[in-house]
Amino acid sequence: MLAWLLIHIQNGFDFTDDAFYLVWISNPWIYKFSSTQFGFIYHPLYKLLDGDLALLRQANALITVGLAWLVFAVLLKYSPVEDKNLKANAWYGIKILIFSFSASVICLVFFNFWLPTPNYNSLALQALLIAATGLIIANKNSSPSSLIGWTLIGIAGWLAFMAKPPTAAALAFIAGGYLLLAKKMNIRMLAISLGVAIGLGLLSAWQIDNSISGFARRLMAGAEAAGMLTSAYNLTGMFRLDSFTWSDGEKALFLVGTFLTFISTCLMASSKQHAGIALLLALTLAGAAIIFVAPYTTHSHFEALLLWSGPLGGLLALFFLCRKNVFALFAKSSFLLPACFGSFPFVYAFGTGNNYWLAAGLAGVFWVLASFSFVGGADISLNKWKILLPILLTSQVTAALILFFGMEHPYRQTQAVRLQSNRVEINHSGNTILVSPDFASYITNLQYFLASQGFKRGDPMIDLTGHYPGSLYAVGAKSIGQPWMLGGYPGSEAYAVGALAQISCSEIANAWILTEPNGPRHLRPELLNKLGVDFDRNYAPAGDLPSPMGSYKRRFVQRIFKPVNTSGVAEVTCQIFRSTV
């Protein structure tokens, strides 16, 4: 599954979210306010890989899988999955490495929407994987391993804050509650963890804005700007109860997966003779589900929640097998860590403007981790490996199915990932990606047209389409204002004016402008008048071209304007206007 993803990861390009991530990572210091700082975290990786989008995406996938591998390996090592005497066996470590790597690829459900470029969501997921590792090995004592655990928790808190402050707040609440209830709390170790998080935060503030106060202003302005767009980003909007729906096909897949895991677990736990039958049944039904059911299943966008089937089926089987003493399974010592990990997908989703279930499913690997933790910590006489194996197998197949759905229906793209085969250069950097024919034609035509009008790589440009920041990145423009000035929200124009007010008069006066006059999310070019720049006098239409369809089922005409800053008049009027406001 990992190889499958790495091979196809150079395919596809979303002009909205995916492009926003790229613009932000490529040059984060030019933006004066931001509610997420992931661009600063990933910028060194972007520079190291020379802006190669395929390598950048591969690195993101490998980092995520590597962290998932680590947390599963640590969990299996520290949980009493096997008799302590057998743990001394040399093969036990190899078994853990193989089993944990097999489990780690389940995290690839994160790429369900096919937005593989490093972003604030991937950073939040990676932070939570680090936090989970730290929570497993952190303890009340001051041993070296416990110190590593508490340090990892501090690093995770810092990364979560840099990704999404609401996720960092939720992580602090859940992790703190777990450590307290599990009687792992140690004031000295807590101080070290907080010191690591705060120290890295202060270092980041100095590196980004040269001062703590400047960084604080950045965050406050970013939060205020986000609140302009939608109430979902306000504090009250974060505390909400969303719902989800599945198609009939997805419901069938969920029931098949749950039943498959339940039967397989019961058979494997009964005798060695039945273990082979259980695995054969699992492989047969899983293969049938992928080959025959998946192509006819309606895409609901909530398919990542199908990952529940493996853990649910396995835990139901465990309860059935231990039905005579089922309440003993819920002892506080064995229940707290699974409960903590089970909440992590919602910690990941907290604060997003999207449906919480939709977002939580992308971090569904934690539900599998929670089930592993529950089985590992349960005081039972059964062979725990035989219970974990069906959960693992079903979860792997489900994850592959979820990834298949995502690659067949990539976010805001017109063709399945496997069919995108037109190679184009982006950003005039020599790096190429594979896209659909219509996207390739659009990018090529836009590059040629701008070049014919005298545009050069690095020239400032303003995106007023409201949903095509990728166009600016594709042509190598310096995207000023914000990485993506979103249109279509009640406060979109105020957001754009506020962003552009942070830009120098010189850059605005000499910037090219991309508009989409009849587009669904367009921003009016006349908003520049609020900045002291007379749009009609200082910009001239250069030409039109059709946009690709993307997330809309029709094309819209895009219009490009070039600056006509004769004798610096636009710059002067802008400066005079700002001096009087």
Q: DSSP for 74-94, please give it.
A: HHHHHS--S-HHHHTSHHHHH
Place of tokens 């199915």: 401
Backbone dihedral region for residue 415 (phi beyond 0: left; psi -120 to 50: alpha; all else: beta):
beta
pLDDT in tens, 3-26: 999 999 999 999 999 999 999 999
Backbone φ and ψ of 512, nearest 5°: -80, 160
Backbone φ and ψ of 502, nearest 5°: -85, -10
Q: Are 401 and 290 in contact (CB under 8 A)?
A: yes
* Confidence tier at 88 by pLDDT (50, 70, 90): low
Query: Among the ranges 87-101, 171-185, 223-237, which has the highest mean pLDDT value?
Result: 171-185
Neighbours of 545 (CB within 10 A): 15
Q: Are 397 and 289 in contact (CB under 8 A)?
A: yes
DSSP-derived secondary structure letter, 558: E
332-336, 472-476, 525-529: range with lowest mean pLDDT: 332-336
* Whole-number pLDDT of residue 288: 58
383 class by beta-carbon count within 10 Å (0-12 exposed, 13-18 middle, 19+ buried): middle
DSSP-derived secondary structure letter, 529: G
Give the Å distances, CA to CA, from 116 to 3, 17, 348, 410, 536.
Answer: 14, 10, 17, 11, 40
* Confidence tier at 283 by pLDDT (50, 70, 90): low
DSSP-derived secondary structure letter, 11: B
Neighbours of 323 (CB within 10 A): 8
Place of tokens 């990892």: 152
* Whole-number pLDDT of residue 266: 86
* Whole-number pLDDT of residue 249: 81
Beta-carbon contacts of residue 298 (< 8 Å; ≥ 6 apart): 247, 248, 249, 250
Strand duo 539-546 + 460-463: pairing? unpaired
Backbone dihedral region for residue 466 (phi beyond 0: left; psi -120 to 50: alpha; all else: beta):
left
- SS3 of residue 503 by DSSP: coil
Give the Å distances, CA to CA, from 465 to 157, 269, 343, 446, 499.
Answer: 36, 59, 38, 14, 15
Segment holding 424, helix H or strand E: strand 422-425
pLDDT in tens, 180-225: 999 999 999 999 999 999 999 999 999 999 999 999 999 999 988 8
pLDDT in tens, 390-427: 899 889 989 998 998 899 989 999 899 999 999 999 99
pLDDT at residue 445 tops 90: yes
DSSP-derived secondary structure letter, 363: T
Residues forming a β-bridge with 434:
11, 423
**What angle do helix axes 332-349 and 120-137 make, rounded to 10 degrees?**
170
Segment holding 278, helix H or strand E: helix 272-288
Domain map of the chain by residue range? 36-408, 421-580
Percentage of residues of the chain with pLDDT beyond 90: 69
- CA–CA separation, 463 and 461 (whole Å): 7
Q: Are 154 and 195 in contact (CB under 8 A)?
A: yes
Backbone dihedral region for residue 543 (phi beyond 0: left; psi -120 to 50: alpha; all else: beta):
left
Mean pLDDT of all residues belonging to the chain: 90
Percentage of residues of the chain with pLDDT beyond 70: 91
- CA–CA separation, 485 and 173 (whole Å): 33
42 class by beta-carbon count within 10 Å (0-12 exposed, 13-18 middle, 19+ buried): buried
Place of tokens 């994850």: 399
Is the sign of the CA dihedral 403, 408, 410, 412 positive or negative?
A: negative
* Whole-number pLDDT of residue 542: 96
* Whole-number pLDDT of residue 187: 95
* Whole-number pLDDT of residue 580: 81
Neighbours of 412 (CB within 10 A): 21
Side-chain half-sphere CA neighbours of 485 within 13 A: 29
Task: State the pTM of this model.
Answer: 0.94
| Average pLDDT for 450-461 | 96
pLDDT in tens, 334-355: 789 999 999 999 999 999 989 9
